[in-house]
Structure 1
Amino acid sequence: MKVLLNLKTYRDRNELRSLLAECMWPDDERISRELDRYLMDDSRGLYGAVIHQRLVGLIGIVPCSEEVVELKHIAINPQYRRHGLGTKLIYEYRQSYHPVKIIAETDRDAVGFYSKVGFEIHSLGEKYPGVERFQCILSKDHELMLKGMGL
């Protein structure tokens, strides 16, 4: 089942905004600005999954170079978490756009997800007082791990 849809023309902006808010600091203005950047900037990608006519997951991609992209945002509706949807979105993006490397930055709460998917994890230390951040890197060498998950 293919789930990766381009969300640039998605009909319900409030639904997009609400799901993006799941993975951002809860600041309404900041969330709206970030959504506008995705929708207006052709270099950025916003992709997602719709199940039963409802947006249930999204990933936001920002290019770093021709071969490297940053997975800036990933959000799954709480009712659909822990069913492999986030992994599937990353895998399908990779199969469709063929980046050499996907990088992401996350906190301790989500580092397990990235590790399970096959990203290499590197501590960035305490970027904010009391908050350790991690750089996550998925390169072509790690594609087998995704395939091994039955995707």
Structure 2
Amino acid sequence: MDVKSRLQENLIQELLSYSVFPDPDVLEETIGKYETDSNMWLYGYESEGVLVGIIGFRINDEQEMTIHHLAVEPHSRGAGFGRGIILEIIEEMHPVRIVAETDEDAVQFYRSIGFVIRSLGEKYHGVERFVCTYEIEPEDE
């Protein structure tokens, strides 16, 4: 569900905080981007009526989606919600390709659902970054 209009809610901010550098200023900056940029989308994922995850992304005119934020609340991790979020967003938005940049901690998650992983090297001092790409197969007509 679209949760962009709920950016000032504590739960939305808490979920978003799991996917940004742990700094209140960075979280505020991120919230500001969603509030002011009409090309940024923010969706929440519910399980049994409880919001357990969030995905923030852009999708361009060529239907390439770039994931900027993806998070599942800590007690719900490992239950398949991250994968579910991505499958639901594919169904909803119909991208032809999904791209996400991440750190080493999340590489295995993306690899496990079929993303191709490529190292970007040490983008920040002492931190290797990766680009993860997923090509969506066109449906047979």
Fold match by TM threshold 0.5: yes
Distance 2:21 2:52 in 1: 19
Out of 27, 36, 48, the residue aligned to residue 32 of structure 2 is 36
Shift of 1:11: 7.7
Q: Which residue of 2 aligns with 1:146?
A: none
Out of 95, 106, 113, the residue aligned to residue 109 of structure 2 is 113
Out of 8, 11, 17, the residue aligned to residue 4 of structure 2 is 8
Q: Which amino acid in 2 is paired with 1:50?
A: E
Distance 1:40 1:15 in 2: 20
Shift of 1:32: 1.4
Where does 1:2-151 land on structure 2 (aligned, <5 Å)?
Answer: 5-10=1-6, 13-141=9-137
Judging changes above 3 Å, is the alpha-carbon distance between structure 1 residues 80 and 60 closer, same or farther for their aligned structure 2 residues? same
Shift of 1:64: 4.3
| Percent identity of paired positions between Structure 1 and Structure 2 | 39
Judging changes above 3 Å, is the alpha-carbon distance between structure 1 residues 65 and 135 closer, same or farther for their aligned structure 2 residues? farther
Paired residues of 1:67 and 1:101 also in contact (CA < 8 A): yes
Judging changes above 3 Å, is the alpha-carbon distance between structure 1 residues 141 and 107 closer, same or farther for their aligned structure 2 residues? same
Q: Which amino acid in 2 is paired with 1:135?
A: V
Secondary structure class of the residue paired with 1:82: coil
**RMSD of the alignment, in Å?**
2.0
Judging changes above 3 Å, is the alpha-carbon distance between structure 1 residues 129 and 64 closer, same or farther for their aligned structure 2 residues? farther
Q: Which residue of 2 aligns with 1:149?
A: none
> Over residues 3-41 of structure 1, what are the superposed CA-to-partner deviations in whole Å (9 max), with x where a residue is unaligned?
xx1112338622111111111111112111212222332
Distance 2:53 2:86 in 1: 11
5+ residue gaps, structure 1, are: 144-151
Shift of 1:91: 0.6
Distance 1:55 1:46 in 2: 13
